[in-house]
Structure 1
Amino acid sequence: MPAKALSIARPLRNPYIPPMTKTWNQKSERPVLGRAPLTQPAFLPMSKKEMDELGWDELDILFVTGDSYVDHPSFAASLLGRWLVAHGYRVGIIAQPRWDKPDDMLVMGRPRLFASVSAGAIDSMLAHYTAFRKKRHDDAYTPGGKAGSRPNRATIVYSNLVRSAFPNIPVVIGGIEASLRRITHYDFWTDKLRRSILLDSKADCVVYGMGEYAMLHIAHVLDQYGETSGTPFSYIAQDVRGIAYMGTHDEIPSQANIVELPSHEEIDADNKKLMTATLSLERHVQEADGWAIQPVGKRAVLLAPPALPLSEDEMDELYGLPYAKAQHPSYTEKIPCVDMMTTSITTHRGCGGGCSFCSLALHQGRRITSRSKESIIQEVENLTRNKRFNGSISDVGGPSANMWQASCKADPEKCKRKSCMHPKVCPQFAVNQTKGITLLRDIQKVPGIKNVRVASGVRFDLAQKDETALRAYTMEFTGGQLKVAPEHICDAVLNRMRKPGVASFEHFLGAFKKYSEQAGKEQYVVPYLMSAFPGCTDNHMRELGNWLRSRGWQPQQVQCFIPTPGTVATASYFARIDENGEDIFVAYTDAERLRQHHILIPSVGRKESKAPQGKRGAYAGKSNGKPNGKPDSKRGSSNHASDKRSERKSQPKREQQPVPTGKSGPKKASPFSVNNR
């Protein structure tokens, strides 16, 4: 629809009011949307020939994505596409189109309702550049692992291509790239502030966070009005949660609670206002009951209340759809991420951590939404019938494996905590980790399953709340390595990260060692660490280096902090203040950032160095793997409706150090270190 139509004043109420149903918490309602379900195809179509085979003369919705098409729920195009087909809408996918001309957009014709655009499972700038702005040479989401199949700022580029191909069509953008740029944000790659992505993309709205019902609601209402009705999009979208669009203050319902964000111009004049805006947006997502508004020039970004989490039944329905768990057959080269994804099971989404550098809570929310045990077991049984499956499940979990079925007893509108885990695990955060262990054991009993692992890792401070679960994770479900994320060991830095103190990590290491020895296993902790975090000084990095050396650990990979849009840590980096407004030291320039990184990994950034850059990493004596150098998912890469495990990269395989022997016989290696002294 024409952009000028968006400024038209809307009536007080949308005349089409769909019936309602109870939602996840049985205290609120969600509209019943959609049409009669369609038969699910083997793959969603990518060509007119495939449409003809399905008997579809046109599409209702076109998805354009910066990823290749893998039919797996870790990819938003697949997950949302099948969700919409299940609700009666014909969906096609254009994956990694050329961006020098709009021809690829035209292969399946103009969609009847709207086009949906996403950069993919990872921010396109993170996909292309390391923490030190060096060009990457591979892409795990592209056939053959080749880099360069999506443009920089892919959401903006694709949106304008869609506009060129289909004039006046409604354009809905989403995914991690768009979601975290919904208001004024700092752009690390140009070292500048940028306005909301709505303005540069000229999209009608951003779907932020988890997008199942926002996308379905938009499709449903456009289906009622028809594309050519001339109805302003702001009017069509007035009852849709989880979206942002351009408008004016008087378009927000008069009775709504409103979070007022500093205007773009105010932030541009005072860097510290970015922290105010970021913390306010964080509260808007957590409270989930009101609108937010950010003035930009003569207009404003209007942010509807966040989407309600899915109920358990809805999660079961979504993940129970018949995904092929394979790449589209049109590809002739293997897509690197497929093997890892096809052996992993998503049990839940959301994270109570609220880490200041992480986009998870801002994107998926702090409320945990879980699948039922029956749904998970059914997926495992289906997986065993896949001829490509070798019997090993690499991961059963979500952002953290030990948060399945967690719930919060507090009222989100009254809770003032920024994290459920920091400074200590909140007593209102309830999770029975023993149930999670029972689930893993029941999966292990399914015929055809050889072993089960939790590659997504565990939240170690939460794990220590249940010794039985911690013992089981260590003794039964760690395949030699267990991923944890201490990030640092200096409490001053950890506090700014909203991470538990070093004492908690050291206690965990002691328990891991004890239980590994009881199991007679040689096992390793794979700790994720970070350099150049806002507030981290060179002395802090030296203290971390000394701590590692005292334990015989040699870091092979460490993530240098990347200021991704939308996070509190990025606001700290840009404004050089902490979230309380106090001035802090920031390693701001590339030289300062490299200096901190070199304290742990001297070779990074030097000539002839083959050390990977821009990736969090493990500790290894020797490595025969070749890491792909991509940033970890928890640094802000996801789809607006996919689980975060879609961006995880497996750590390089390790050759274990030779076990020294003596008169007393073989000595076991330390179960929580790799290089043994």
Structure 2
Amino acid sequence: MQANKLSDWLPTTKREVKIRGWEELDVILFSGDAYVDHPSFGPAVIGRILESYGLKVAIVPQPSVHDDLQDFTKLGTPKLFFGVTGGCMDPMVSNYTASKKRRDKDAYTPNGDKGFRPDYATSVYSNILKEKFPDVPVLIGGIEASLRRVTHYDYWSDKLMPTILETSKADMLVYGMGEQPLREVVKLLQKGVPFSSLRTIKQTAFLVHKNESIPKNKNWDDVEIESHEVCLKNKKKFASNFKIIEQESNKLKARRIFQGVNGKTLVINPPYPTMTEKEIDASFDLPYTRLPHPKYNKRGPIPAFEMIKTSINIHRGCFGGCSFCTISAHQGKFIASRSKESILKEVDKVASMPDFKGYLSDIGGPSANMYQMKGKVQSICDKCVAPSCISPVICSNLDTSHKPLTELYQAVDSHPKVKKSFIGSGIRHDMLVPEFNKNADPKELDDYTEEVMTKHVSGRLKVAPEHTSDPVLKLMRKPSFQYFHKFKERFDRINIKKKLKLQLIPYFISNHPACEVEDMANLAAETKNMGFQLEQVQGFTPTPMTVATVIYYSGYHPYTLKPTKTPKSRKEKEEQHRFFFWYKKENRGWIRKTLSKLGRKDLVEALVPEEENNTWKSIKPKKVNNTFDNAIPAHHSRSKKKRKPRKKRR
């Protein structure tokens, strides 16, 4: 049903607080995003979770940092704490392109307007609050805080930065998905435990000063990583930290991590176990209006909301462990799946919205086809330290049955108001290839593929092989490109069998660590030979908490500590990216010259043979959707940047 009362949203102003009859607030949240009361928007989820614990919660979306800072004081002092998040994306990714140019639009702001979110928003907001309210605890969370919880490389300033707890002056950090740690924080605060004593809650981090003792916990083992100061002096030791950080982040029985920073000790408590079905259902079943706050009605639509307003998120987490992606670092590698009942309840709510036209834009998650997948024998998973369950091969203990997902799609489509449900999230095509997914039932994989192709695609199916070079793919933790060939064979067979006219749209990344110019030329030649004229392409953008970013900065692979080359200069990056567009007239001469210098006449003939010159002059290339300059990192766009069918973008 359409929400029509202002009090149906969390209050954002003093007037709205008064409407609810409240004299004071327990928690005030500050967010870098506009306020959209929807389960795909983290600040709304946190607000609703806190509200469900009986707290009086308000949210200040996109507070102004350019005036007298009245947005930070207008709601007064909360009884418990301030909560701060930079938003659903790292603010630097929101604000800048891969070429470090300021973006023209901010998808999480009405009308896409830019300038409403400061760079490094979490630290900016937190510092202001600590200055205005020095005695009130500040708790930070969200993807910016989560991925910057230890010493990390910041691509935009091109330097190593300490834990965000140091730069923000916040009292506590919640990393990952916040429902479980927040439940314990609130429970203890309501019992009268001082905020400063909340030192043994899982999935939180804090700084211990010289004169303080580190809290003891007999149930946890501890590990100390290289200090921030050592990392500044030694890139190899910085790289060595990441193996420990990644493994402990994805273990079910993890160690507590210590790191020295500026005379203090960073303490990162182990994560909670994966959310149960009951826990994740409870989060999605909260009373969201599923709409932007009415204050934005005259400012224009919020692009990120328009992309997902008729989508349904069915699970969290990703066991792919791709080296360029931050999903597992934030959501975990173990899948937390919602129940079919909870999903269908949300479908019914969406279908009851006045403007629903009968089409669901996405039934998916970080990866569309990982729903209800988990270890067959839990005790094996309990001991596992592998960052990926499907690289270099699919774990024999992983249940990759697609049957629950196929049945879910069919249940959604049986809703009387649903004309069609699309799969807008990226599909792991490798898991649909029996030659790679050897423990799966081939018929079950074909049934799923056929279900998707015949009922859930609008002309195009997008998949992400990412590269064609096996050495690059190995570093990416992606399977050999031969499995994309195998998948394309199955795709083409079903296309013919069902008399469809679907297109297969592959995504690729240039200038990734270990990628050489010849690798990009080979990629261009092989995809050209397969009949592709690439559209969905992007340049690698280093973001904190990924293997690829550690390699980009340090030059060492964190697991082997072997030197690994990465394209870093703008010239190198642009040249690699240029191979994607071999079909453009202005690139053909450059490609011939570059490959001739490398002695690769074979690739010249494959990509730009002389006899094709006149032919290609007369061909109008397809529109290229993602250029190097506006590319968005894969991990952000897959999980958050979903668009309506026919306007798909990674």
Does TM, normalized by the shorter one, top 0.5? yes
Q: Structure 2 residue aligned with 1:242, among 185, 188, 203?
A: 203
Summarize the alignment of residues 414-433 of structure 1 with structure 2, pairs less than 5 Å apart. Answer: 414-433=383-402
Cross-structure match for 1:449: 418
Q: Structure 1 residue aligned with 2:528, among 532, 549, 558?
A: 549
Q: Decide which moves more: 397-406 or 247-256.
A: 247-256
Q: In structure 2, what is the Cα distance between the partners aligned to 1:42 and 1:473? A: 37
Q: In structure 1, what is the Cα distance between the partners aligned to 2:275 and 2:219? A: 26
Per-residue deviation at 1:218? 1.7
Per-residue deviation at 1:633? 6.2
Matched, 1:580 2:560: yes
Cross-structure match for 1:648: 642
1:164-210 alpha-carbon deviations (Å, 9 max, x no partner): 33232100111111111100001111211111111110001111011
Q: Structure 1 residue aligned with 2:28, among 53, 62, 74?
A: 62
Amino acid at match of 1:340: M
The question of whether the paired residues in 2 share the 8 Å contact of 1:59 and 1:112 is answered with: yes
Per-residue deviation at 1:271? 0.5
TM-score normalised by structure 2 residue count: 0.87
Q: In structure 2, what is the Cα distance between the partners aligned to 1:356 and 1:512? A: 27
Per-residue deviation at 1:649? 4.7
Higher relative contact order (CA 8 A, sep 6+): 1
Q: Structure 2 residue aligned with 1:288, among 252, 266, 279?
A: 252
Cross-structure match for 2:473: 494
Q: Structure 1 pair 300/150, CA: closer, same or farther in 2 (3 Å)?
A: same
Cross-structure match for 1:533: 512
Per-residue deviation at 1:348? 0.5
Q: Decide which moves more: 266-275 or 564-573.
A: 266-275
Q: Structure 2 residue aligned with 1:297, among 246, 259, 262?
A: 262
Q: In structure 2, what is the Cα distance between the partners aligned to 1:308 and 1:103? A: 40
Q: Structure 2 residue aligned with 1:337, among 299, 304, 309?
A: 304
Q: Structure 2 residue aligned with 1:140, among 89, 97, 107?
A: 107
Per-residue deviation at 1:246? 0.5
The question of whether the paired residues in 1 share the 8 Å contact of 2:27 and 2:81 is answered with: yes
Cross-structure match for 1:590: 570
Amino acid at match of 1:598: R
Q: Structure 1 pair 186/593, CA: closer, same or farther in 2 (3 Å)?
A: same
Q: Structure 2 residue aligned with 1:128, among 71, 95, 98?
A: 95
The question of whether the paired residues in 1 share the 8 Å contact of 2:123 and 2:167 is answered with: yes
Per-residue deviation at 1:482? 1.5
Cross-structure match for 2:62: 96
Q: In structure 2, what is the Cα distance between the partners aligned to 1:116 and 1:592? A: 42
Amino acid at match of 2:86: A
Per-residue deviation at 1:215? 1.8
Summarize the alignment of residues 65-84 of structure 1 with structure 2, pairs less than 5 Å apart. Answer: 65-84=31-50
Structure 1, unpaired ranges of 5+: 1-38, 607-619, 638-643, 655-677
Q: In structure 1, what is the Cα distance between the partners aligned to 2:540 and 2:245? A: 22
Q: Decide which moves more: 623-632 or 177-186.
A: 623-632
Amino acid at match of 1:338: F
The question of whether the paired residues in 1 share the 8 Å contact of 2:538 and 2:626 is answered with: no
TM-score normalised by structure 1 residue count: 0.83
Amino acid at match of 1:271: K
1:8-45 alpha-carbon deviations (Å, 9 max, x no partner): xxxxxxxxxxxxxxxxxxxxxxxxxxxxxxx9951111
Q: In structure 1, what is the Cα distance between the partners aligned to 2:571 and 2:411? A: 51
Cross-structure match for 1:354: 321
Q: Structure 1 pair 567/267, CA: closer, same or farther in 2 (3 Å)?
A: same
Structure 2, unpaired ranges of 5+: 434-439, 587-619
Matched, 1:322 2:282: no
Summarize the alignment of residues 510-525 of structure 1 with structure 2, pairs less than 5 Å apart. Answer: 510-525=489-504
The question of whether the paired residues in 2 share the 8 Å contact of 1:632 and 1:648 is answered with: no
Q: Decide which moves more: 157-166 or 61-70.
A: 157-166
Per-residue deviation at 1:84? 1.3
Q: Decide which moves more: 164-173 or 341-350.
A: 164-173
SS at match of 2:144: helix
Matched, 1:461 2:430: yes
Per-residue deviation at 1:484? 1.1
Cross-structure match for 1:87: 53
Larger helix share, 1 or 2: 2
Per-residue deviation at 1:90? 1.2
Q: Structure 1 pair 250/112, CA: closer, same or farther in 2 (3 Å)?
A: closer
Q: In structure 2, what is the Cα distance between the partners aligned to 1:271 and 1:626? A: 33
Q: Structure 2 residue aligned with 1:307, among 266, 272, 277?
A: 272
Q: Structure 1 residue aligned with 2:234, among 270, 287, 309?
A: 270
Per-residue deviation at 1:455? 0.5
Q: In structure 2, what is the Cα distance between the partners aligned to 1:463 and 1:252? A: 47
Cross-structure match for 1:46: 12
Per-residue deviation at 1:148? 1.4
Cross-structure match for 2:616: none
Per-residue deviation at 1:118? 0.7
Amino acid at match of 2:205: A
Cross-structure match for 2:615: none
Q: In structure 2, what is the Cα distance between the partners aligned to 1:252 and 1:358? A: 34
Per-residue deviation at 1:59? 1.3
Cross-structure match for 1:165: 132
Q: In structure 1, what is the Cα distance between the partners aligned to 2:630 and 2:22? A: 38
Amino acid at match of 2:373: A
The question of whether the paired residues in 2 share the 8 Å contact of 1:489 and 1:501 is answered with: yes
Q: Decide which moves more: 137-146 or 253-262.
A: 253-262
Q: In structure 1, what is the Cα distance between the partners aligned to 2:430 and 2:244? A: 27
Q: Decide which moves more: 319-328 or 63-72.
A: 319-328
Cross-structure match for 1:20: none
SS at match of 1:246: strand
Q: Structure 1 pair 536/649, CA: closer, same or farther in 2 (3 Å)?
A: farther
The question of whether the paired residues in 1 share the 8 Å contact of 2:514 and 2:564 is answered with: yes
Matched, 1:399 2:378: no
Q: Structure 1 pair 429/632, CA: closer, same or farther in 2 (3 Å)?
A: farther
SS at match of 2:115: coil
The question of whether the paired residues in 2 share the 8 Å contact of 1:632 and 1:647 is answered with: no
Summarize the alignment of residues 551-630 of structure 1 with structure 2, pairs less than 5 Å apart. Answer: 551-578=530-557, 579-601=559-581, 622-623=622-623
Cross-structure match for 2:186: 219
SS at match of 2:103: coil
Q: Structure 1 pair 627/48, CA: closer, same or farther in 2 (3 Å)?
A: farther
SS at match of 2:497: helix
1:212-269 alpha-carbon deviations (Å, 9 max, x no partner): 121222222223337xxxx462x2232x111111016732425521122111122112
Cross-structure match for 2:141: 174
The question of whether the paired residues in 2 share the 8 Å contact of 1:74 and 1:645 is answered with: no
Cross-structure match for 1:15: none
Amino acid at match of 1:522: K
Per-residue deviation at 1:51? 1.2
Q: Structure 1 pair 102/602, CA: closer, same or farther in 2 (3 Å)?
A: farther
Per-residue deviation at 1:621? 6.1
Q: In structure 2, what is the Cα distance between the partners aligned to 1:85 and 1:304? A: 25
1:476-535 alpha-carbon deviations (Å, 9 max, x no partner): 222211121111011110000000110111101111111122221111122221000011
Q: Structure 1 pair 569/650, CA: closer, same or farther in 2 (3 Å)?
A: farther
Q: How many residues align?
A: 591
Amino acid at match of 1:246: L
The question of whether the paired residues in 2 share the 8 Å contact of 1:205 and 1:244 is answered with: yes
SS at match of 1:580: coil
1:354-398 alpha-carbon deviations (Å, 9 max, x no partner): 111111111111110111111111111121110011100111111
1:315-356 alpha-carbon deviations (Å, 9 max, x no partner): 111111121111100112211122221110011101010111
Amino acid at match of 1:407: K
Q: In structure 1, what is the Cα distance between the partners aligned to 2:292 and 2:625? A: 23
1:109-134 alpha-carbon deviations (Å, 9 max, x no partner): 21111011111011111111111111
Q: In structure 2, what is the Cα distance between the partners aligned to 1:625 and 1:314? A: 39
Q: Structure 1 pair 132/265, CA: closer, same or farther in 2 (3 Å)?
A: same
Per-residue deviation at 1:624? 10
Q: In structure 2, what is the Cα distance between the partners aligned to 1:531 and 1:627? A: 11
